Structures are given as structure tokens and as C-alpha cells.
């Protein structure tokens, strides 16, 4: 998941870029976010934890980055200075709950990764990349499932979920995100991934 996060960070380099992360508990949302944030800040040792209790963890983006995406027609663009990793699980979705997050500012000037995005209600940006992560049971030839075999596949009980296959669905909303996802597919950046584009 970290590798996918790192890849997506390469095309999430404009003020207002928003990724909405939804999925099963333990499906890898924070792991994907770790790869995303570490790549954006230029530090693969950057500690990235779930912001469930803090609501938002913010990180300063590295000032010089080599980005895959350049969808600005004149070739120049303003780089965002901050990436915000938010977890809205504890919020009700009422506007008053969201006010401290300063979303108008974030959605205009910064990059954001938001877990539990359904809590945004009417605040959902019109241009965004929606990601749905699911833990999959892998059917084996003898009729068993990967879940049943996971004890043999994993040495550490705490890492059992990490041994399970994941399904990630990317849903680009808006032309900017559609173009970016098409570009990374055409350039071969996702040859090792199966990406499902929702219409």
C-alpha cells in the first residue's frame, strides 16, 4: 500500500488536490497515507500515524520535487506547502464539527488525504480522487480461502491482515483527476497494479 501511496503522491502536486480514502478497517488507508506523505515531504523516515484522535496531522511538503504530473497549460504551477491527513471517523458530519479543520483553506491551498470522507457532507470538493480499499479473501484451488491459510502465510500474528490481498478502486472525479489517472496508466506507472476506474 505504501508503494501505491508514493505513486499517487507523484500526481498530487497542486494546491487543492484531494484524495478521499474509504474502506474496511485495516484495509491499508493509513499505510497508503504513509507512503503518500513520506514521498511528498521527501523523508522516508517521516512518522505517519492515523489522525483518529487528533482529526488532522499536517506535514510540510518538500520544496523541490520531481513530479510526474504537469497539467498546468503554461508549465508553471504553484506548489502546495502542506499535506493534511485527516480522519473524520469521530465526527458527526455536521458543519460545526468540520469548522476547526478549515476545509475551505485546505481545499484551496493544500493537498489533503481524508479518511471517512462521507462525514464531509456538502463540503466534498467537486474535483477529487476517491479511493476504496477492500480486504479480499483469496480463493485457493482446494476450496479453502486465503483467510484460512493466513496463519501459514504470516510469521507475525499482528501482520496477518497485511498478508491478505487488497482491492483498490480509484474513482477520478473531474477532468483533472481523469487526465492524471489516464496518464499514469499510459506511461506504465501502474503496470504492476490492477486499477479499476469507476465510471
User: What is the per-residue pLDDT for 186?
Assistant: 86
- Exposure string (b/e) for 145-168, b if CB count within 10 Å is 16 or more? ebeeebeeeeeeeeeeeebbebeb
Identify whether the C-beta of residue 110 lies closer than 8 Å to the C-beta of residue 157. no
Mean pLDDT, residues 119-138: 90
pLDDT > 70: percent of the chain: 73
Beta strand 166-173 with 196-197 is: parallel
Confidence class for position 137, pLDDT limits 50, 70, 90? confident
pLDDT at 13 over 50: yes
Residue 29 has pLDDT above 70, yes or no: yes
Handedness of CA 167, 24, 5, 69 (dihedral sign): positive
* pLDDT digits 0-9 by tens, 139-188: 555 555 444 443 334 444 344 446 678 888 889 999 999 999 998 888 87
Amino acid at each position: 500500500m505504501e508503494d501505491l501511496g508514493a505513486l499517487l503522491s507523484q500526481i498530487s502536486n497542486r494546491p487543492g488536490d484531494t484524495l478521499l480514502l474509504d474502506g474496511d478497517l485495516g484495509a491499508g488507508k493509513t499505510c497508503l497515507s504513509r507512503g503518500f506523505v513520506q514521498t511528498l515531504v521527501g523523508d522516508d523516515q517521516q512518522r505517519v500515524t492515523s489522525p483518529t484522535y487528533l482529526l488532522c496531522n499536517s506535514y510540510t511538503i518538500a520544496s523541490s520535487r520531481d513530479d510526474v504530473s504537469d497539467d498546468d497549460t503554461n508549465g508553471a504551477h504553484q506548489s502546495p506547502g502542506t499535506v493534511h491527513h485527516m480522519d473524520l471517523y469521530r465526527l458527526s458530519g455536521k458543519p460545526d464539527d468540520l469548522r476547526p479543520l478549515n476545509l475551505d483553506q485546505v481545499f484551496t491551498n493544500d493537498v489533503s488525504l481524508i479518511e471517512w470522507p462521507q462525514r464531509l457532507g456538502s463540503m466534498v470538493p467537486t474535483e477529487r480522487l476517491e479511493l476504496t480499499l477492500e480486504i479480499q479473501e483469496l480463493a485457493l484451488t482446494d476450496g479453502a480461502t486465503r483467510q484460512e491459510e493466513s496463519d501459514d502465510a504470516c510469521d507475525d500474528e499482528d501482520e496477518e491482515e497485511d498478508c491478505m490481498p487488497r482491492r483498490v478502486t480509484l474513482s477520478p472525479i473531474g477532468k483533472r483527476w481523469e487526465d492524471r489517472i489516464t496518464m499514469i496508466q499510459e506511461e506504465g506507472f501502474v503496470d504492476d497494479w490492477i486499477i479499476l476506474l469507476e465510471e
